């Protein structure tokens, strides 16, 4: 507590009595982003990044910030984007990794067919195998946002620095 603040309280007490010492309403810190930018963030969270020309299946805070700069000329830091879902009635969730139920016999048949196809391929044939989590096409544990009280599964920002 600073000396000037104490003197300010003394002056308020002298002018208004004990009621002058109660906290007064203040405007608070101004918003970092405009309503237009916040509406665009919500629109993006509702949609798919590929519809906006992004080569990704999920929005990240960095991608959203770049999109806002490119489309609206709004220079918004990714950390500011990270705060927006809370104000828009979204909450952060983590996806649960769930594999669909599989039929063991169907799996064996499919695996046998793949092994047979690879075995029958000539030496000139290239066999490519990809793991989407390594390529980044499917994140193994990226953050999602969901409406409060709702189910997870919306595209979401994820910290990208």
Per-residue pLDDT of the chain (161 residues; tens, 9 = 90+): 789 988 998 999 999 999 888 888 888 888 888 999 999 998 998 888 889 888 888 888 889 999 999 999 999 999 888 888 778 877 666 666 777 777 889 888 988 998 898 888 888 888 777 665 555 554 544 445 555 555 544 444 444 43
Separation of alpha carbons 68 and 39, rounded Å: 11
Give the residues across from 154 on adjacent strands: 145
User: Does the model's pTM come out above 0.85?
Assistant: no
Separation of alpha carbons 148 and 98, rounded Å: 22
């Amino acid at each position: 507590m600073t000396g000037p603040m104490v003197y300010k309280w003394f002056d308020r007490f002298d002018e208004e009595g004990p009621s002058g010492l109660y906290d007064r309403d203040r405007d608070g810190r101004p918003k970092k982003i405009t309503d237009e930018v916040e509406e665009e963030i919500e629109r993006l969270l509702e949609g798919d990044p590929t519809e906006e020309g992004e080569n990704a299946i999920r929005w990240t805070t960095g991608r959203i910030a770049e999109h806002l700069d490119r489309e609206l000329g709004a220079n918004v830091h990714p950390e500011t984007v990270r705060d927006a879902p809370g104000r828009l009635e979204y909450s952060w969730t983590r996806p649960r990794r769930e594999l669909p139920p599989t039929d063991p016999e169907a799996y064996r048949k499919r695996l046998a067919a793949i092994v047979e196809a690879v075995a029958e391929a000539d030496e000139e044939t290239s066999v490519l195998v990809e793991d989407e989590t390594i390529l980044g096409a499917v994140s193994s544990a990226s953050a999602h946002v969901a409406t409060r009280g709702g189910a997870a599964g919306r595209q979401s920002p994820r910290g990208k620095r």
